[in-house]
Amino acid sequence: MREKGVKKTVITELFQACEKSGCFEFDNEFVKKICKKEAFKNQFDATKCDNSNNLPDILRKKDYFVLHLGNGKHKFVKGIQRGYHKFEPIPDRNQYQWKYRKSLLNEYDTSESNILSVALNQRILHDFLYEDIVASPKAYNSRRTKMTCSFHIGTERIEAENLQIEIDFTLEHSGKVTVIEGKNGFPADFAVYQLFNPFKYFAELKTKSVLSMKEISCCYVLRDKAAKGSLLRLYNYTFDDADDMTSIHLAAAAQYELIKR
């Protein structure tokens, strides 16, 4: 039965070929071949599944997810629950109404960069991360870099070489570095590597004494529409072990409803 959605069809064919060969690693050339066959135009997006809802049925049934290894290589890894983390419920005590005066470009569009700009400009990130709306963190815009490293996903050893790291936004305040990821909507979960990769990147710099950091954390910012404006949900995560992607744990979570004055 053909999977609904061309992207899911591409991933299905990739997995079936890997399962047949007994080798669960594959490269961009093979992805390109399957994308061409299925007329999927963006081969570099084909293996990206930001949340588990984007996984095809066969991966759900067989319990696998896609992991990027760098140098144009990828791997199907066993254990969806290890590759995706469910967003935790936010208790009522951590849900706030945030009164603000809307500016010209505030909420002008629904891009990820706008989500993060709203959270920063309205001092929501300041309140959530530092409990201080007059704090003055240093802000660094989106960037891409590469990293060669090894780590575990549970008991499985992963070797990554020239792995591209995508960072939406970074804040630094008093030696504390927070990597920030922004998304529209309220998905049930997210791919852990989105936060682990930049966390690992900065943890390596700290270990090698390239940068002296007191703390590294990763903040996920979600936005959706509410009755009177926008609803922002913020989750701050860290990893107990920089060598184990499954060691993620929640440090704090809060919801902010933007109420226009």
pLDDT digits (tens, 9 = 90+) for 168-178: 999 999 999 99
Q: CA 200, CA 160: separation in Å to the nearest integer?
A: 12
Angle at CA of residue 76, ends 72 and 82, nearest 5°: 115
Question: Domain-by-domain residue ranges, the chain?
Answer: 6-78, 86-260
pLDDT for the residue 260: 79
How large a percentage of the chain has pLDDT more than 70? 95
pLDDT for the residue 112: 78
pLDDT in tens, 16-52: 999 999 999 999 999 999 999 999 988 989 999 999 9
Using CA atoms, how far residue 217 sits from 78, 147, 213, 238, in Å, is 26, 18, 11, 5
pLDDT for the residue 225: 79
User: Which residues make Cβ contacts (< 8 Å) with residue 119, sequence separation at least 6?
Assistant: 125, 182, 221, 232, 234
pLDDT for the residue 259: 86
Name the DSSP letter for residue 244: B
pLDDT in tens, 223-248: 997 766 789 999 999 999 999 999 99
The pTM (predicted TM-score) of the whole model is 0.92
pLDDT in tens, 114-147: 889 889 999 999 999 999 999 999 999 999 999 9
CA neighbours closer than 13 Å in the CB half-sphere of residue 37: 13
pLDDT for the residue 4: 52
Using CA atoms, how far residue 60 sits from 33, 34, 64, 249, in Å, is 24, 20, 7, 24
